Structures are given as C-alpha cells and as structure tokens.
Chain A
Amino acid sequence: GQQLNQSPQSMFIQEGEDVSMNCTSSSIFNTWLWYKQDPGEGPVLLIALYKAGELTSNGRLTAQFGITRKDSFLNISASIPSDVGIYFCAGQPLMDSNYQLIWGAGTKLIIKP
C-alpha cells in the first residue's frame, strides 16, 4: 500500500532553535496536512496545504507543499517548550477516489534539558 516517509523520527532540540521535518511519498498527493499530538491527546491539525508550491504559516510554523507534489516540509522557528510532542504528516493520494488519508510515522520533538 501507499506509504509516507517522515523524517527525522525524533529530534532533540534546545529552546530557541529552529526545527525542520519533512515527508516524502513515492506517488503524487493532492493534499498535505500537518498534525501535532500532545501526550495523552489526539492529534490536532496545524496546517493544511492543497496546492503544489503552496507555502502556509500558522504563527511560528510554516509548511510547504512540494512542487513535485510528492513531498512536504514543516518548519518551526524559535522553538519553545510547548512545541514538544509528535508531529504527523498526512496526505491524500491523487489517485485515491475514496479520499482516504495516508499518515507518516511521526516526528517526536524533545527539548534538551
């Protein structure tokens, strides 16, 4: 079946650092979504992207829909402690008439003490 490769698997960062993570697919997607999951909670949508090349910001978060339509990137600027959690990318394949999302395995963000 379809898979998304999300990297890195985990990141150890210091407060104030910028963070980058990405997702790649072997096939073309027409939607990319980025979710964040806090401990003990369900994922919450951060940013939705619907057009190739689209660059969208949500506060300190910026995400891009890759030009090839096979990848997406999420950047977090000036990280703060509440940024810790698991970030998931999700996408809808172009050729999927059921509009079902495919999910990455997640990037776990950890703040160095």
Chain B
Amino acid sequence: KAGVTQTPRYLIKTRGQQVTLSCSPISGHRSVSWYQQTPGQGLQFLFEYFSETQRNKGNFPGRFSGRQFSNSRSEMNVSTLELGDSALYLCASNPLAGSTGELFFGEGSRLTVL
C-alpha cells in the first residue's frame, strides 16, 4: 500500500513569511505526528493528531500549529518564519494513537528560511 506522502518536498521561504506543509498518512492510519529534524539534534516532536484532535504537543512556540482533516490528512503551519526554522519536517503515521510501536515516516519536507 502507498506510504506516507509529504508535500512539498523542498521549499524556500524568507523570514517573516508563513508556510503550510501537508501530510497524507497510510490508508487506514488515523494518527499523524510531526517532527522537526535539524543536524545533530535528532527528531524533535511537534504534535500528534488523532481523529482530528490534537492529542499531544511538544515544546514549540505557538507559531507552529497543525490540524487534521476527517480523511486523516494533516497540515502543519509555521507563521512568521525565523532562520532557525530551517529544518527537515517529518510526518509519521500510525494506525493507533500514541507513538508506541512502529511509526511510518514520510520522506519529509525540507524548509530553508533565508
């Protein structure tokens, strides 16, 4: 079956702009988690959505937000972009809520903020 799909794969923005990233989970998966990956920092958890509800949130400022639609597709938005927001943003899906067990990751959206 099709894997997790993230769009766009690459994007360049300037400081102060906002960006929206999209994630389509594996069919039948209802949980979508978002992570920020920067070199040497591992994966930093942003938030998790399950059945259109935000279930968990990491320690990121309010400029980072997300939502999930009834078909389980999810979007994340970053407003007022800063240089430090440059990173690979990964989406992961899971059939169940919570992260225990296998997360299925997409290829990521690489954001560069100039």
Contact = CB atoms under 8 A, between A and B. Distances in A.
Dominant SS among interface residues on chain A: loop
Contact of A105 (B40, B98, B99): B40
Interface string A92-103: 100000111101
Nearest to A45: B102
Given A42-B92, A42-B105, A100 B43 contact: no
Contact of A43 (B44, B98, B105): B105
Given A42-B90, A105-B42, A92 B99 contact: yes
Task: Determine chain B's interface SS by DSSP, over half rule.
Answer: loop
A9 B108 CA distance: 22
Interface in B28-70: 35, 40-45, 48, 55-56, 59
Contacts of A90: 43
Interface residue tally of chain A, by bracket? 20 to 34
A48 B106 contact: no
B87 interface: no
A43 B90 CA distance: 9
